[in-house]
Amino acid sequence: MAADAGFEAHAIADYVADKSRVRQGIAERVRIAVPEVKTCLIALVYGARRSAREVDAIPEVIGCQAAQRLYADPVFAALQHDISRSRRVILQADPTRGKQLVNAMGLALPLPAAPTKRLAHLTQGVEAQALRAMQAVYPDEIVLLMHDGFVSRCQLDRMQLSRAVWKATGYEFKLSEKQLDGAV
């Protein structure tokens, strides 16, 4: 979305190119687990801010001391800057100038709404559209849709899924797979 709006988000591009490496590096420097890094990055995309309060998104996940280390990490800080800047550019480029913001799924968000909520609404619309496109390709094999993925009965053709997502959304999604323990 940021690139479509004319913003080159270098830290985000580096992250997308090799999420595992970036997450692992942050985890090692900050001394937290890789899944916690992922959770904190998702929280950033959905509007989490730097905070030292235990009840706020990032400190609630990793604790206040770890949150301070995370905020000081140069890669995390660069991602936070890119996400914040991207949010501004995307929302400025959005042609919606009415009383509601309509996402890719046709769902409306009443305006005014905070910029973080507006971007989350747009992002969730594209994510839902992508999941529906994938499910349309494999309606019997995909048995559960989730926030950022799905569960299927068997291994699926990721290239075919990627093409379906591109056709439906205009975005390239990098799909990965993980076989769950105990899967039958």
Q: DSSP string of 148-164?
A: TEEEESS---HHHHHHH
pLDDT over threshold 60, residue 100? yes
Mean pLDDT of 102-118: 89
Distance (Å, rounded) from C-alpha 142 to C-alpha 135?
A: 6
Instruction: Give the per-residue pLDDT at 163.
Output: 94
Residue-range domain boundaries for the chain: 10-93, 100-169
Instruction: Give the per-residue pLDDT at 168.
Output: 94
Q: For residue range 67-77, what is the model confidence (pLDDT) as tens digits?
A: 999 999 999 99
What pTM, to 2 d.p., does this model score? 0.80
Distance (Å, rounded) from C-alpha 74 to C-alpha 89?
A: 22
For residue 77, what are its two tokens? 């800080």
pLDDT over threshold 70, residue 184? no
- 48, with CB counted inside 10 A (0-12, 13-18, 19+), is buried
